[in-house]
A = this chain, B = another copy of it.
Amino acid sequence: MENFNFCVGTRILFGKGQEEKLPELLRPYGNKVLLTYGGGSIKRTGLYDRIKSLLHEFEIFELGGIEPNPRIESVYAGAEICKEEDIDVILAVGGGSTIDCSKAIAAAAYYEGDAWDLILHPDWIEKALPICTVLTLSATGSEMDNGGVITNLKTKEKLGFGNPLLLPKASVLNPENTFTVPASQTAAGSADIMSHILEVYFDTRRAAVPDRISEGLLKTVIQYAPIAVREPENYEARAELMWTSSLAINGICSTGKDCAWSCHPMEHELSAYYDITHGVGLAILTPRWMRYILNEHTVEKFAEYAKNVWGIAEKADLFETANAGIDATEEFLKSLEIPMTLSEVGITEEHFTEMAEHAVIFGGLSEAYVPLKAEDVVNIYRMCM
Contact = CB atoms under 8 A, between A and B. Distances in A.
Contacts of A1: 14-15, 175, 235-236, 239-240, 243
How many chain copies? 2
Closest 6 CB pairs of A and B: A9-B9, A212-B216, A3-B15, A7-B11, A1-B239, A6-B12
Contact of A7 (B10, B215, B219): B10
A7 B4 contact: no
29 contacts: A1-B236, A1-B239, A1-B240, A2-B15, A3-B14, A3-B16, A4-B12, A5-B11, A5-B13, A5-B14, A7-B10, A7-B11, A8-B9, A14-B256, A206-B236, A207-B239, A208-B219, A208-B240, A209-B217, A209-B240, A209-B244, A209-B247, A212-B215, A212-B216, A213-B216, A213-B247, A215-B216, A243-B255, A247-B252
A16 B175 CA distance: 40
Interface string A195-215: 000000000001111011101
B215 A209 contact: no
A223 interface: yes
Nearest to A240: B208
A206 B220 CA distance: 13
A224 interface: yes
Nearest to A164: B11
A294 B251 CA distance: 37
A295 interface: no
Interface of A: 1-18, 175, 206-209, 211-213, 215-217, 219-220, 223-224, 235-236, 239-240, 243-244, 247, 252, 255-256
Contacts of A14: 1, 3-6, 255-256
A239 B212 contact: no
B208 A224 contact: yes
Contacts of A256: 14, 239, 243
A238 B2 CA distance: 13
Contacts of A3: 14-18
A188 to B, nearest CB: 20
Contacts of A8: 8-9
Contacts of A243: 1, 209, 255-256
Contacts of A208: 219-220, 223-224, 240
Contacts of A255: 14, 243
A247 B216 CA distance: 14
Nearest to A238: B1
Contacts of A247: 209, 213, 252
B15 A4 contact: yes
A7 B7 contact: no
A256 B219 CA distance: 18
A304 to B, nearest CB: 12
A120 to B, nearest CB: 27
Contacts of A207: 239-240
Contacts of A10: 7
Q: Which of A17, A217, A223 has the most CB of B within 10 A?
A: A217
Contacts of A217: 209, 212-213
A4 B14 CA distance: 5
A300 to B, nearest CB: 16
Contacts of A17: 3
Contacts of A11: 5-7
A1 B16 CA distance: 10
A12 to B, nearest CB: 4
